[in-house]
Chains A and B, each alone.
Chain A
C-alpha cells in the first residue's frame, strides 16, 4: 500500500511538473499582457518537436549523449527567442486594449496556423527521442522501479518556482513587471517601458511552455494534438490556481498531477476528466481559484 502511494506521488508530481511549466507561462502572460493566449499550447508542442529534432541530431552526429540534456534547454531557448518577440510584436501588440473576443480569435488563429505548420514541417507521425531518459536509468526503491528522469522533472519544476519568485521579487525587471501588472498607466508615467516589459514577459512565457514540451518529449514523444492537450490542461490548472498566480499554478499543478496519477491507478477511465472535475469543484467553492482575488491582480 505504501509502495503504491509512493509510486502515485512520484508519477503525480512528475506529471504536475510538466503541466506546471505550461500553466505558469500562461498565467504570467495573462497577468502582464492581459491576454488569454490560446496559442500557448503550440509553444509546448513546438518545444517538444524542436527538442526531439535536436536530440536526434546530437545522437546521430555521434556527440556525447549527455549533450541531449543541454539540448532540451537550448531547444526551449531557441523557440522562445525565435517566436516570443515576433508573435508579441506582429500579432498581439495591436490587440492590447481591444475586446477579449478579438484577442482570443487572434490567438486561436495563431494556434491553428501553428498546428498545420508543425504537421507541414514534422509530418503527422509521432517522433521519439528518449536518450535523456535512458541515460538516467531507474532507481530501485523498496522493490519499485522509478524513472530517475521523473525526479529530474520534479526538481526542475521546483527550481523554476524558486527562480520565478526571485525574478519577480528580487530583480529590476521583476519589479517593473509587478508595477505593470498593478497599474499599466502609472507604470508608464514612472518611466517604465511597458512595451519592453510585455515582450520580456511574453518571451519568458513562451520559454516556459517550450521548456515543458522539451522536458516532456523524452517521456511521451511528440505527435500532432500535443499542443491542444497541453493548452486545455494548462487552462484548467491556471484557473484552479487563480489566473495570474505563480504559486497558485504550482499548487494546482500538483493537485491535478496527483489526481491524474490516482485516476490512472484506480479508475483509468476517468483520467481524462479528472483535471476538469477538480477545476469544477475548486471553482464552485472559490470562483477565482485557490489563490485568486476579485479586485487585486497580483503576480
Chain B
C-alpha cells in the first residue's frame, strides 16, 4: 500500500498540496480528478520525490520513503509518465525504454525480459523501436512514456493526464492499453490524473477528487 499522510508541499512559495491524505492499494487503480492547477501534477511529482515535503509523510508498505531521493524511487518499483512525455530526443524508442532499467542496475537478461513484456503489453511499440524519441507524434510519445514507466514501475505506476491532447481514436487506443495492463499486471497499483475521467471510468476501482490542493472522496465541484 502506498499512503500519503497529511502531505504538504510548497511550489515556488505557494502551498500547493494542503494536508493531502490518501492511500492506493497494491493492485488497485485510482484516478485523481481535478481541474488545471488543482495540484494533480504536484501530487505525482511529490510521489516521485521531485519536490520536498513541507510536512507529512509518504509510506510504501508501511516504510517511510520521504527521504528516499528521487532517483531511488524507480528502484522501489515506482514508474512515472509525465503529461508532456519528455522522452530523450537523442535516443531511439528502445533506448528510451531501456534507460531506466539500466539506471536501476538490472542485468541484461532482466532488462530484455521487461522490454519484451512491455512490447507484448503495448504492441504499438515494437514497430517504433528504432525511431528517435524526438520524432514521435503525441500519441506515440504517450505510449512510449507509458512503456518507459512500466519498465521500472513494477509496484506503482503514475500517469499524469495521459489522455490530455490525444485525438479520440488515440485516446481509445491508450485506454485499451490501460485495460490490458489492468488485466495482465494485476499487482501494479495505478494512479492516473485526469481533468475529465471519461476514458478511465471503466478501468478504475477508485475515484478521488482534488481541488485547490485538497484531496477528497467526493466531487465537490460538480454538485450542479
List the interface of chain A (C-beta within 8 A of B): 172, 175-176, 178-179, 182-183, 185-186, 188-194, 296, 298
Contact B50 A190 (CB under 8 A): no
B110 to chain A, nearest CB (A): 14
Contact A178 B91 (CB under 8 A): yes
Contact B86 A183 (CB under 8 A): yes
Contact B88 A191 (CB under 8 A): no
Contact A189 B80 (CB under 8 A): yes
> For the complex, what is the distance from the CA of A18 to the CA of B108, rounded to whole Å?
40
CB-CB under 8 A from A190, the residues of chain B are 74, 99-100, 103, 148, 152
Contact A191 B86 (CB under 8 A): no
CB-CB under 8 A from B148, the residues of chain A are 190
A179 to chain B, nearest CB (A): 5
> For the complex, what is the distance from the CA of A189 to the CA of B100, rounded to whole Å?
8
Whether, in the assembled complex, B53 has its beta carbon less than 8 Å from a beta carbon of chain A, the answer is no
Contact B90 A182 (CB under 8 A): yes
CB-CB under 8 A from A191, the residues of chain B are 71-75, 100, 103-104, 152
Whether, in the assembled complex, B10 has its beta carbon less than 8 Å from a beta carbon of chain A, the answer is no
CB-CB under 8 A from A176, the residues of chain B are 103
A136 to chain B, nearest CB (A): 40
Contact B71 A182 (CB under 8 A): no
Contact code string B81-108 (vs A, CB < 8 Å = 1, else 0): 0100010111100010001101110000
Contact A175 B152 (CB under 8 A): no
A175 to chain B, nearest CB (A): 6
CB-CB under 8 A from B69, the residues of chain A are 188, 193
B195 to chain A, nearest CB (A): 22
11 A–B pairs (Cβ distance < 8 Å), ordered by A:
A175-B91, A178-B90, A178-B91, A185-B50, A186-B82, A188-B69, A189-B74, A191-B71, A191-B104, A191-B152, A193-B71
> For the complex, what is the distance from the CA of A189 to the CA of B83, rounded to whole Å?
14
Contacts A175-B99, A178-B88, A183-B86; A188 near B104 (Cβ below 8 A): no
List the interface of chain B (C-beta within 8 A of A): 48-50, 69-75, 80, 82, 86, 88-91, 95, 99-100, 102-104, 148, 152
CB-CB under 8 A from B95, the residues of chain A are 175
> For the complex, what is the distance from the CA of A176 to the CA of B88, rounded to whole Å?
11
A187 to chain B, nearest CB (A): 8
Contacts A188-B71, A190-B74; A182 near B88 (Cβ below 8 A): yes
Pick the most buried of B70, B74, B75: most chain A CB atoms within 10 A of its CB: B70
Contacts A175-B95, A176-B103, A194-B71; A189 near B50 (Cβ below 8 A): yes
Pick the most buried of A189, A190, A296: most chain B CB atoms within 10 A of its CB: A189
> For the complex, what is the distance from the CA of A146 to the CA of B80, rounded to whole Å?
59
Contact B70 A183 (CB under 8 A): no
> For the complex, what is the distance from the CA of A182 to the CA of B87, rounded to whole Å?
9
> For the complex, what is the distance from the CA of A298 to the CA of B72, rounded to whole Å?
26
Contact B48 A189 (CB under 8 A): yes
CB-CB under 8 A from A194, the residues of chain B are 71
B199 to chain A, nearest CB (A): 24
A123 to chain B, nearest CB (A): 45
B177 to chain A, nearest CB (A): 20
CB-CB under 8 A from B102, the residues of chain A are 172, 175
Contact A183 B80 (CB under 8 A): no
The listed residue (B80, B89, B103, B152) touching A182 by CB distance below 8 A is B89
Known: A179-B99, A185-B50, A190-B100. 11 other contacts (CB 8 A): A172-B102, A176-B103, A183-B88, A186-B82, A186-B86, A186-B88, A189-B71, A189-B73, A189-B80, A191-B152, A193-B103
Contact A189 B88 (CB under 8 A): no
With CB as the reference atom, state the residue of chain B lying closest to A175: B99
B160 to chain A, nearest CB (A): 11
> For the complex, what is the distance from the CA of A178 to the CA of B90, rounded to whole Å?
8
B12 to chain A, nearest CB (A): 12
CB-CB under 8 A from B152, the residues of chain A are 190-191
> For the complex, what is the distance from the CA of A175 to the CA of B80, rounded to whole Å?
19
CB-CB under 8 A from B88, the residues of chain A are 178-179, 182-183, 186
> For the complex, what is the distance from the CA of A182 to the CA of B103, rounded to whole Å?
16
